[in-house]
Amino acid sequence: MSLQVEEVLHTSKSLYQDVLVFKSVNYGNVLVLDGVIQVTERDEHAYQEMIAHLPLYAHPDPKRVLVIGGGDGGVLREVARHPGVEQIVICELDQQVINVSKQYLPSLAQGYNDPRVQVKVMDGNQFMSENQESFDVIITDSSDPVGPAAALFETPFYKAMYASLRPGGIVCTQGECMWLHLPLIQPLMKSIAQFYDTVEYAYTTIPTYPSGQIGFLLATKGRGSCRVAPRKPETTVAQQLQYYTAELHEAAFVLPAFARRAIYGEDEKK
């Protein structure tokens, strides 16, 4: 997919990556890191709502939430819709992403305005090592597994998240595309299943990501599957959401046959 550029709004090189923001003709403002589209104003809700609400509504009573990455603020915005959450910590390595998002993506960066949010500009691994068994939900909103984000797709990082989870906790990470990355997804899920109680793949559809689809890995510590949510959005919240619904929560785990076989094997129940 290609986007028509109306105006380049920002270009810079941070300590970690090239940062670009442009205004597109049909998709609003667009954030690009190292040449890869991260978010557009038109379709961002399909990703932000699902990566946040799949684990949060799968947990019966989340109080403390950690977001790793997600410097644009969109995941924070969605986590803040849960009134029962008492603390939201974000670890974003690149301060420049935060600054640019606040200037050019205010509809996402409004997430930083919630008083429960604590911002840590630091490496997520280091923060988790200093905060063991501290969080009910950990959400990792990462870019593709290249450059500074590569370590977020390796088994040691999932072990670090496991150690930082409270009993009964859930992690949800950007899980790549079933059409393009099955050779990455299946081995990673098999590896982390050695220490998580359940490991599942769910997905969303989003036009501006490769093949129009992106997945999420959901893994649990001391609890069962995330496929059936014990909670659902209150009416006022449901009216604000543009993508996530209680029905879509369960549907997101239903995979095409080729992906189900590749990820779970032939014995996975249909």
Residues taking part in catalysis = 141
84, 61 contact by CB (below 8 A): yes
Strands 135-141 and 87-91: unpaired
DSSP-derived letter for residue 212 is: G
Annotate 118-155 with DSSP letters as a single string: EEE-S-HHHHHHTSTT-EEEEEEE---SSGGGGGGGSH
246, 78 contact by CB (below 8 A): no
- Residue 247 Cα distances to 57, 64, 103, 244, angstroms: 12, 25, 35, 8
